Amino acid sequence: MEAAGWLRKLESRIAGVRSHAAWQLGRLGETGAVPALIRLLESDENEDVRLTAAWALGELGDVRAVPALEAAGERDASADVRSQAREALHRLTGEKGGE
């Protein structure tokens, strides 16, 4: 499937499909997905989706994601998401984040 197909899947009602699509877009290096991935990181109700969105944003290396990753690294309700966001931020900026 091409990037446009995975972008559509980010809108699926099924959380597992959204998280899979986020992973695929990160693997593909699809920077056009950055705004949609930021939205997922900021507001998706599912922890796995937010976690994968954070990972994908780290892979894509687009500085537009820095504020959202910083916020998630500090304030996400899930410890796993906070950890993944800090790791992604480290990959993106080269600066190691603290706990």
Partner 1 sequence: MTTFGWYTDKVCEHYQNPRNVGQIEDADGTGVVGNPVCGDMMMITIKVEDGRIADIKFKTFGCGAAIATTSMVTELVKGKTLEEALQVTNKDVADALGGLPPIKVHCSLLAEEAIRAAIEDYRERQAGGGGT
Taking the least distance from each CB to partner 1, the nearer of 19 and 73 is: 19
User: Within positions 13 to 32, which residues make up the interface with partner 1, using CB under 8 A?
Assistant: 13-17, 19-20, 22-24
76 lines the binding site for partner 1 (CB under 8 A) = no
Residue 16: exposed, middle, or buried by beta-carbon count in 10 A (0-12, 13-18, 19+)?
A: exposed
CA distance 27 to 72: 21
- Enumerate binding residues for partner 1 (CB under 8 A): 1, 5, 12-17, 19-20, 22-24, 48, 51-52, 55, 84
